[in-house]
Amino acid sequence: MVGPSEWLKYIRKEASSALSKPAPYGPDINVIEIAGETKKITTKVNLSRVEEVGIDLEKAERAAFFFQLDDAVLKALSRLPGVEIRPLMEYVNSDFEEAQKFVWSAVSPSTDKYTAIAALRGTGGYFVRVKPRVRVEDPIQTCFYMAGKALQAPHNVMVLEEGAKATIITGCTIMPEVAGLHAGITEVYVKKGARLNYIMVHAWNKVAHVRPRTVVKLHEGAEVVSYYMNLSTVKTLQTYPKYYILGDAGKVYSASIVLGRSDSVLDVGAEVVLDGDGVAEIISRFMVRDEARAWARARISGSSGKGHIECKGLILSDHAELYSIPELGGLGAGATLTHEASIGKVAEEEILYLMSKGFTREEAEEIIVRGFMSVEIKGVTPKIRAYIANVLKLMSKRTLRG
């Protein structure tokens, strides 16, 4: 019988074949060179930076908490018997037979060079399970902080058992002077009738490369509501989570709110595969300024079910670039798929109108940008709704003033 060590050897062999395999989208980088960087930052770690992505290390009301600093897992604790959270490799070693169903199952280690480097040199990450029919009111919070290492590549697995309901908030951030690559692998399994609210907030720096790799599998009647928000300048960012609706009545709502500043290169999107009579909606809001370049991608395909894509972009400077790429794939006569896309600028007449009502120009611009960023906030508690609203308020200020 194959054990954990033999299984890991197989995973690493698969990964080795993809170390030079670029992703189909986004700028290519040399992962070997970055992963081989050994320089350490010697300044004191500023833990208050995690508050920027909505993580309170001490006082937050939460059902469970996971915190990883570079490669080190500092906290993994649950306050509810219905929520299990622990380091991923602890789970693999203690429940190996079950773990094989979830770990490197939805995501292949040979997908591209970023999954490969995570399989070969990544450490840390969590396993979260919400047990059958457990409804979790307070959020499960997870945080990844790059403070000195050039590579952070955690592997995360979430499992919501049948009828479970939970909100998972992930905040990722970095010290200002750290240059490196964050390549997080996330595999999500949402069982029959379960519901997941998944909120990811990123705040990087001008020299960070970010390559999350996420696959979500939904079973009959399952629902996922996902929000991705990028708050800050980043050197390059490329992410394209993929959702598989495997049974009838499954639902996906994916919203990305992305800010591009300085010379950032961003390629962000989502894909939904309707393998059943489900419903999919992909929403994106992009704001680009300075010399940032961004690609907003979205794809829905299937032979049945309904899907809609809405991509809106705002260009705030003469040297910024934004490209919207919506795709629909009908695999037969049973699917109803639609899309709309638009790119524009802040209208001067709208600014002047608000100024005529007593607002300053700065206030008027912020009101317009915040209105542009607004997306439907579905099925979350008032606390989570307020959290998302606060993040969007911060984004609107940074969009205009840096």
pLDDT of residue 315: 92
Domain identity same for 168 and 267: yes
pLDDT digits (tens, 9 = 90+) for 206-221: 999 999 999 999 999 9
Domain identity same for 97 and 180: yes
Q: Pairing state of beta strands 83-87 and 126-130?
A: antiparallel
Domain identity same for 292 and 352: no
Domain identity same for 131 and 233: yes
Domain identity same for 254 and 362: no
Hey, is 295 helix, strand or coil?
Answer: strand
pLDDT of residue 355: 85
Domain identity same for 353 and 335: no
Mean pLDDT of 84-113: 97
pLDDT digits (tens, 9 = 90+) for 111-153: 999 999 999 999 999 999 999 999 999 999 999 999 988 999 9
**Tell me, what amino acid is at 141?**
Q
- Distance separating alpha carbons of residues 195 and 168, to the nearest angstrom: 11
User: Could you say which of 302, 328, 343 is where a domain stops?
Assistant: 343
More confident residue, 173 or 399: 173
User: Could you say which of 311, 343, 375 is where a domain stops?
Assistant: 343
Domain that holds residue 206: 4-343
Domain identity same for 168 and 102: yes
Mean pLDDT of 357-373: 81
Domain identity same for 190 and 305: yes
Domain identity same for 285 and 391: no
Domain identity same for 190 and 276: yes
User: Could you say which of 343, 363, 389 is where a domain stops?
Assistant: 343
Domain identity same for 376 and 320: no
Domain identity same for 33 and 151: yes
The answer to whether residues 198 and 188 touch, using CB atoms and an 8 Å cutoff, is yes
pLDDT of residue 324: 96
pLDDT of residue 402: 57
- Distance separating alpha carbons of residues 386 and 370, to the nearest angstrom: 14
Q: How many domains does the chain have?
A: 2
Kindly indicate the confidence band of residue 79, based on its pLDDT and cuts at 50, 70 and 90. very high
pTM over 0.75: yes
